[in-house]
Structure 1
Amino acid sequence: MSSDVILETVFPASMSEAAEIVADAARERRAVYFRGAGTHFQYGCPPGRAGIAIATGAIQEVADYSYRDLTITVGCGVSLNRLGELLAQQSQFLPVDCVFGGDGTIGGAVAWSPPGPRAYRWGALQDYVLGVRAVDGMGRTFFAGGKVVKNAAGYNVTRLLTGSWGTLALILELTLMVRPLPEQLRLLSWVVTKRDRLERLLSCLIASRSEPSAIEVLGGPRWEKDRFLRVGDHHDECRVVAVYEGSAGEVDALCDELRRELSEAGLKIEEELPASSYASLSNFLADVARSSCVYELSVRPTRLAAALDQLRNLRPRASFLGHAGLGRIFAFADEDGDVTPESMVRLRGAIATLGGRVTVLRYPWDSSWNRTAIWGPGGTASRYMQGLKDQFDPHNILNPGRYVFPP
């Protein structure tokens, strides 16, 4: 974060200490910014005004692990790697991809983490957050949700906080639902050039009774160095990857089912990739160059191939990874350094014709980018979002400027 805006960084050792720091800041009307492991602090907008940063990496208490009930309660500073290791001891896992890498904290992931490939079958991170302990912009500690899977009482505040970029509350502790760890992972792959074949293949995969965990479409220079995921130099060429996981017998049966369905559609499985290749798909934002812009296209899944055409026409050197079943494409400007607000406005207009939208996730923090160029024009939901912000943080001290709300 910018050194002229962050006046001081504090490192609370406990949840109570972090809550006291926010309460003090609330009384003084001082801005506070939250940081876990710092894996994605360059995403979003820059800090809006001078304040302090709260680094939560030391809040790593594992308060409870009820493995028979498939729940775990941890502090916000627990890294995703450590969480995965704890769960693996009981042959369990959190079926959410570490898109920024495993060094990131669970608190940072819940505050904002784009969906990974597995979200197609397993759902997004918000689906696994059962309860939270948090502190709002008035310095008040509160609890939301619960510690059991079957909990439907009251408003679902946990979903509201998940993905709010820390602008509504500082999440201190989380109770998460987990699942049994799959025994086997298989990646089936195709290289596709023609749009009509891409649409036919994706349609078959999405409608398939074989239930893949992920359906990914990737292309561009970024993947050239990957031995297994790379694609050719043809402008329209892309790679499709279908991911299957579960018990060994289950995965084999699912792949056999897909093979039958593809045969009926005049298609076939072209190749199988090593299971280790999944790490590159899962951690797709972990190694993006610090100077690169990152932007997201969201459309209906049936229009993903058309959206890729628009992206390649307007940004021919952009690399991309698309979650086909979700209709979301993440573009990386590794070889596409002339990304400007004007270029994003043109792309946003093209995607709007498909009923979709474009959001700029990372960009140079300079004055040429305004909030409309980054987030797009505000709709009717903006008024309701601002109303929620005013309830949780009436003095606008929590991460001001970093998200859609004015600084």
Structure 2
Amino acid sequence: MTTANTEDAAKQIAAKLETLLDSQTEIIPWEQVDYHWKQKIESAIASDTPPSYLIYPHTQETLAQIIQTANEQRWAVLPCGSGSKLNWGGLVKNPQLVISTARLNRIIEQATGDLTVTVEAGVKLADLQQTLKQHNQFLPVDPAYPEAATLGGIVATSDTGNWRQGYGGVKDLVLGLSIVRTDGKIAKAGGRVVKNVAGYDMMRLFSGSYSTLGVICQLTFKVYPLLESSQTVVLTGDANGIEKATATIRMSSLTPTAADVLSSGMVHQLGIGKGIGLILRFQGIPESITQQSNQVKMIGQELGLIDSIYREDEENPLWKRLQELITISQTESSVTAKIGIIPTQMISFIRQLDQLTDEQGLGMINLGSGLGSLLLESEAVLSQLSKLRSLLETGQGFLTVLTAPKPIKQQFEPWGYRGNALDLMRNLKQKFDPNNILSPGRFVGGL
């Protein structure tokens, strides 16, 4: 598309939008978009042709009008929150509009006694946690970019983090949601109590949908009381010892709220020992924490592993550093990925990761679910990705590329899905987004 044609298209879009936007809605032409937003958007789209506008609706109703108009005009839309995960998944094909829910940031209702909270999608997790803390409550998710991440973006990418061990995934915390459909209608599902009804399980369907079926505008979460005390135990050593320790802990009555196996590269970067690592967080009453921590130490000592204890001021920085290492790329060629594997095979995979990357690859896998994260930085990253995906798929697992330079995503399909549910996903996409305007190309199979 020539520059003149692009400008004409932008003017036509602006003319259509002017009739429906309220006075508070911010509509920013591409040439006026902030440099950091431009970087995020350019890394998320397939072509070199930028979108015409970045739009911040301030109400759910205005958001619905914009989506309805985009659908009628066949404008491709890239929805997002703060943009922290905008470049996760596949490259989006030719979006005309980027629509941010960052200004939909009201905490609508906090039912303290019911342990629920209802928020708009643009509320930042960090802000919600501060509000909940005033009532001795919290939402147990620990996503990438926790200071910037919005709740809509966290659910759309199903980005739970380390608390998965104790509290389940994001989809297990969502009691209800509202979404803007492509026809402009606002549809609601669930509520402040869990209730099964006939039809789609919308909370699970939209968790991890990457805004390809609808735009999340409101959410109700189950929250939890703040825990009285916390302590982290780390075991490090040879792979055989860590493998036996994970098997013992998995079969025990121990109840860590976070539990992850760490690659040798991750252990080295954290400065917590040598070899492969196992990191466990215990939270609750002090007596229980002490008892469980001592039990883990005994398991480690019997297997010749080195143990370390992190308390109070040492503990939170350790988990923060862990999250930063696995999500924040250090070079322009870095690749981050989400992986899944049968839990009993995770140590074998970590061994192979260490061998393939000369212990430079960073890996972390949840003890219970087998879900994890990778960060690779190498000139041979394409070869490494292919080999690691093959290893995981052999063990009935998967590797999904989250962030990577455009040339990598153009050569290495980010999702690599080979299961039998693709026809079902296509049917769902056709039902929810028949004109294919929502994040086209971002999801599995180019959906």
Instruction: Give how far 1:262 is off.
Output: 5.9
Question: SS of the residue aligned with 1:191?
Answer: strand
For 1:301 and 1:35, the matched residues in 2 are separated by 32
Question: SS of the residue aligned with 1:369?
Answer: helix
Q: 2:279 aligns with which of 241, 256, 279?
A: 241
Structure 2 counterpart of 1:131, one-letter code? G
Question: SS of the residue aligned with 1:27?
Answer: helix
| Maintained 8 Å contact 1:188/1:269 | no
| Maintained 8 Å contact 1:100/1:285 | no
Q: 1:359 aligns with which of 380, 395, 400?
A: 400
Corresponding residue pairs, total: 395
Deviations 1:148-180 (A, max 9, x none): 2x3223342111001100001100010111011
Structure 2 counterpart of 1:59, one-letter code? L
Q: 1:21 aligns with which of 66, 80, 96?
A: 66
| Maintained 8 Å contact 1:45/1:365 | no
Deviations 1:339-359 (A, max 9, x none): 12x442232222333332222
Q: Compared with structure 1, are the counterparts of its residues 367 and 250 closer, same or farther at alpha carbon in structure 2 (3 Å cutoff)?
A: closer
Q: Compared with structure 1, are the counterparts of its residues 184 and 283 closer, same or farther at alpha carbon in structure 2 (3 Å cutoff)?
A: farther
Instruction: Give how far 1:13 is off.
Output: 1.1
Question: SS of the residue aligned with 2:407?
Answer: coil
Partner of 2:30: none
Unpaired runs of 5+ residues, structure 1, are none
For 1:368 and 1:346, the matched residues in 2 are separated by 16
Question: SS of the residue aligned with 2:52?
Answer: strand
For 1:254 and 1:366, the matched residues in 2 are separated by 47
Partner of 1:172: 217
Partner of 1:300: 342
Instruction: Decide which moves more: 210-219 or 104-113.
Output: 210-219
Q: Compared with structure 1, are the counterparts of its residues 66 and 186 closer, same or farther at alpha carbon in structure 2 (3 Å cutoff)?
A: same
Partner of 1:332: 375
Over aligned residues, Cα RMSD in angstroms? 2.3
Instruction: Give how far 1:188 is off.
Output: 0.6
TM-score normalized by structure 1? 0.90
Between 1 and 2, higher relative CO (CA 8 Å, sep ≥ 6) is seen in 1
1:314 and 2:352 correspond: no
Partner of 1:151: 195
Q: 2:309 aligns with which of 272, 279, 285?
A: 272
| Maintained 8 Å contact 1:137/1:396 | no
Instruction: Give how far 1:101 is off.
Output: 2.0
For 1:168 and 1:108, the matched residues in 2 are separated by 14
1:95 and 2:140 correspond: yes
For 1:262 and 1:311, the matched residues in 2 are separated by 23
Partner of 1:162: 207
For 2:363 and 2:299, the matched residues in 1 are separated by 28
| Maintained 8 Å contact 2:327/2:375 | no
For 1:345 and 1:282, the matched residues in 2 are separated by 24
Question: SS of the residue aligned with 1:366?
Answer: helix
Partner of 1:289: 330
Q: 1:123 aligns with which of 153, 164, 168?
A: 168
Q: Percent identity?
A: 26
Unpaired runs of 5+ residues, structure 2, are 1-40, 43-47
Partner of 2:244: 200
Deviations 1:115-170 (A, max 9, x none): 3121012101111111111112222211011122x322334211100110000110
Structure 2 counterpart of 1:388, one-letter code? L
| Maintained 8 Å contact 1:84/1:94 | yes
TM-score normalized by structure 2? 0.82
For 2:304 and 2:408, the matched residues in 1 are separated by 50
For 1:97 and 1:289, the matched residues in 2 are separated by 21
| Maintained 8 Å contact 1:310/1:351 | no
Structure 2 counterpart of 1:348, one-letter code? R
Question: SS of the residue aligned with 2:255?
Answer: coil
Q: Hey, which of these two has a bigger chunk of helix by percent?
A: 2
Partner of 2:261: 217
For 1:267 and 1:20, the matched residues in 2 are separated by 63
Instruction: Give how far 1:374 is off.
Output: 2.0
Structure 1 counterpart of 2:436, one-letter code? N
For 1:225 and 1:315, the matched residues in 2 are separated by 14
Question: SS of the residue aligned with 2:92?
Answer: coil
| Maintained 8 Å contact 1:167/1:399 | yes
Q: Compared with structure 1, are the counterparts of its residues 278 and 343 closer, same or farther at alpha carbon in structure 2 (3 Å cutoff)?
A: closer
Q: Compared with structure 1, are the counterparts of its residues 173 and 95 closer, same or farther at alpha carbon in structure 2 (3 Å cutoff)?
A: same
